[in-house]
Amino acid sequence: MKFFKVITYGCQMNLHESEKLAGILSSKGYFPTEDNEQADIIVFNTCCIRENAEQHALGNLGALKYLKKKKPSLIIAMGGCMTQQPGVMEKIKESYPFVDIIFGTHNLDFFGDYLDERLAKKKRVFKVFETDGKIYEGTKVLRTSYPNAWVNIMQGCNNFCTYCIVPYVRGRERSRQPEFIFSEVQKLVLMGYKEITLLGQNVNSYGKDLEGDINFAKLITMLKEVRGNFRLRFMTNHPKDLTEDLVKAVADNPHCAHLIHLPVQAGSDRILKLMNRRYTSQDYINKVELIRKYMPDCAITTDIMVGFPTETEEDFCDTLNLVKKVGFSSAFTFVYSRRKGTVADKMDDQVPEDVKKDRIMRLVDLCNEQTREYSSNYLGKTITVLCEDFDKKKQMYMGRDEYGRMGYFECENNAIGEFCKIKVTSANGISLFGELVDDENQQ
């Protein structure tokens, strides 16, 4: 038997692409393993959104040198956003001579061919292309996250936020045809998947590049017709493209979870402008109000960054104030990281590391406080969670409610893949603990 291991470093889209790499490898007769020593092929699916993501991958790659010496037949491949950056392929080629295959984000679907080439010719294979090309349909996917499944609806990004590397390594926005998306979602639901997450860097600009009468709101309305009991999620939304039609379509589709991930990034209008986000903090608040008008119960989550070039204490306080005003159910917080090739990298007045550190700590404190408050509202309530795993440490099943909150509970039977009702008895930060109320498994 031959084994493979795919290591993922990035976002959900990156994770989903690892499922495609796994699908390609399994169709070539390889079986998955978690053990480096057992693997005949190890694929690094990299990310370059922040410097630490790159360092992490390179550290793990370096550590494989000894393994390759011990087992020269081991194939080591590297792909993803990091290798798609200009000059990175050449650097890895030289500094890591034990890497057999390097590929980029635009040609991941052809990884099987590159593996064949490597095995046939015993020569290293380097394939990173600049052109982003079209979307390929039909690549096999080996899903790893039952009962949840990801469905990619588009590639690339056109926004060019000045801090962000994604548009450079993912190319321009390209949407999948709606019929392909509909049939993939319907098939997954028939196969027993209970939560489907539509993925794109900017899902709410879906369809702008397609001919015909289609946009993201219309896609959501189309997906209302999918038969079965499942939850529909989508991410990520850009505030500038969040329309009233979309909010209405979500509110009107009973499959849709009432959770919207709406990255705000900063609360200062000056910084938002420098980031090229194309909204003000007031525009953002208006979007939040729009969501709450149609879905008063809707949870709103966000991404926030501190330490963007020129950020002053006053700008940072605008961010804190916006967080207080909106009341996020949870927030992902980041320290700005310089990315080569982006506009912000060339800006003067980069914020010193100790100032960034101080700000992120204050921001995290505030967000944690909000999260705790949000969780405490759950006490005594009965919620429906989709059980997704068993936590071995806690010896409890775990699952999220439609608002994204994780609930832990005990159950005698295997509950994975079932909608379970639990009564919340305690809360700890972002986690809820409860008791199973009944096992009718109905949402």
Check residue 239 and report its DSSP letter. G
- Point out which span in 134-142, 158-166, 245-253, 424-432 binds ligand SF4 (CB under 6 A): 158-166
202 binds ligand SF4 (CB under 6 A): yes
Per-residue contact string for residues 371-410; x = within reach of ligand SF4 by CB under 6 A: ----------------------------------------
- Cα separation, 234 vs 246, whole angstroms: 12
| Residue pointed to by tokens 């990035």 | 10
| Sequence-separated (6 or more) residues with CB below 8 Å from residue 4 | 22, 25, 26, 30, 31, 32, 33, 39, 40, 41, 42, 43
Interface with ligand SAH (CB under 6 A): 49-50, 163-164, 166, 201-202, 236, 238, 263, 265, 303, 305, 334, 336-337, 339
334 binding partner (options ligand F3S, ligand SAH, ligand SF4, none; Cβ < 5 to 8 Å by kind) = ligand SAH
- Point out which span in 26-34, 54-62, 153-161, 434-442 binds ligand SF4 (CB under 6 A): 153-161
Q: Helix H segments across 279-428?
A: 281-294, 313-326, 353-376
Check residue 129 and report its DSSP letter. -
336 binding partner (options ligand F3S, ligand SAH, ligand SF4, none; Cβ < 5 to 8 Å by kind) = ligand SAH
- Cα separation, 443 vs 441, whole angstroms: 7
- Point out which span in 146-154, 156-164, 216-224, 290-298 binds ligand SF4 (CB under 6 A): 156-164
Angle at 42 between CA 170 and CA 72, to 5 degrees: 130
Shortest Cβ 147–ligand F3S spacing (Å): 23
| 269-328: contacts with ligand F3S (CB under 6 A) | none
Best CA proximity match to 201, nearest among 263, 108, 141 = 263
Shortest Cβ 204–ligand F3S spacing (Å): 17
Q: Which helix (H) or strand (E) holds 42?
A: strand 41-46
- Cα separation, 15 vs 20, whole angstroms: 9
128 binds ligand F3S (CB under 6 A): no
Q: Around Cβ 187, how many Cβ atoms within 10 Å?
A: 13
- On whether the CB atoms of residues 419 and 441 are closer than 8 A, the answer is yes
106 binds ligand SF4 (CB under 6 A): no
| 149-178: contacts with ligand F3S (CB under 6 A) | 165-166, 169-170
8 binding partner (options ligand SAH, ligand F3S, ligand SF4, none; Cβ < 5 to 8 Å by kind) = none
Tokens of 68: 């390759």
Strand partners, 421: 384, 438
43 binds ligand F3S (CB under 6 A): no
167 binding partner (options ligand SF4, ligand SAH, ligand F3S, none; Cβ < 5 to 8 Å by kind) = ligand SF4
Strand partners, 234: 198
- Cα separation, 78 vs 118, whole angstroms: 13
Shortest Cβ 304–ligand SAH spacing (Å): 7
337 binds ligand SF4 (CB under 6 A): no
Backbone angles phi, psi at 107, to 5 degrees: -125, 25
- Point out which span in 14-22, 88-96, 162-170, 240-248 binds ligand SF4 (CB under 6 A): 162-170
160 binding partner (options ligand SAH, ligand SF4, ligand F3S, none; Cβ < 5 to 8 Å by kind) = ligand SF4
Best CA proximity match to 290, nearest among 350, 259, 257, 245 = 245
Q: Which residues bind ligand SF4 (CB under 6 A)?
A: 157, 159-161, 164, 166-167, 201-202, 238
Q: Which residues bind ligand F3S (CB under 6 A)?
A: 10-11, 13-14, 47-49, 81, 165-166, 169-170
